[in-house]
Amino acid sequence: MRISSSMQKALNGQISKEFGASYLYLAMAAYFAEKNLNGFARWMRMQALEESKHAMKIFDFVEDRGGRVTLEAVDRPPPDFPNPLAVFEHARDHEAKVSAGIHQLFEMAGGEKDFATQATLQWFITEQVEEEKTSTEIVETLRMIGDNASGLYMFDKELGRRGSSD
């Protein structure tokens, strides 16, 4: 069964949001690199790559269902951030918005009895639980560290060990 035009349009919007998230994480990586926090920068670059993969997963799904992918403009990310905590708070809040969007798509697919789309979106729902958990844990750790330069240095090294399979 072909994907409906309304679901195709909604999924194209989500593709844009996923690429936008990738762009946002690249801006965050650039911020950290400028501050010589290369572990944080590496973590954000890997997160950007993961978001691009999410976009492509939806891209491929739309094509597999006989739909047409139409790419939309992505939002410009903030050019700067006040501090590392603010960066990760922004990331955490962004992940919550992504989750809400995925939930809306899942509900829409259910209303259309589009079970194939729901099955694909279930993967994203599960993924978003992990994304929100991770970003919240990082925010809480940065709050504990506060202005402690040694703590920030150690946490930077820890996040820099993120593997490519994350």
Q: What CATH number has the domain bearing residue 25?
A: 1.20.1260.10
Range 41-53 average pLDDT: 97
CA-wise closest residue to 54 among 93, 113, 98:
98
- Express each pLDDT in 106-138 by its tens digit: 999 999 999 999 999 999 999 999 999 999 999
- Express each pLDDT in 69-85 by its tens digit: 999 999 999 989 999 99
Contacts (Cβ under 8 Å, ≥6 apart) of 31: 80, 81, 87
Distance between first and last Cα of the chain:
33
Report d(CA 61, CA 57) in Å as an integer.
6
166: pLDDT confidence band, cut at 50, 70 and 90? very low
For the chain, the domain total comes to 1
Report d(CA 132, CA 147) in Å as an integer.
24
Q: What is the domain extent for residue 140?
A: 5-159
Above 50 in pLDDT, residue 33? yes
Length of the chain: 166
Is residue 141, in this structure, part of any structural domain at all? yes
164: pLDDT confidence band, cut at 50, 70 and 90? low
Is residue 24, in this structure, part of any structural domain at all? yes
Is residue 109, in this structure, part of any structural domain at all? yes
Predicted local confidence at residue 165, as pLDDT: 46
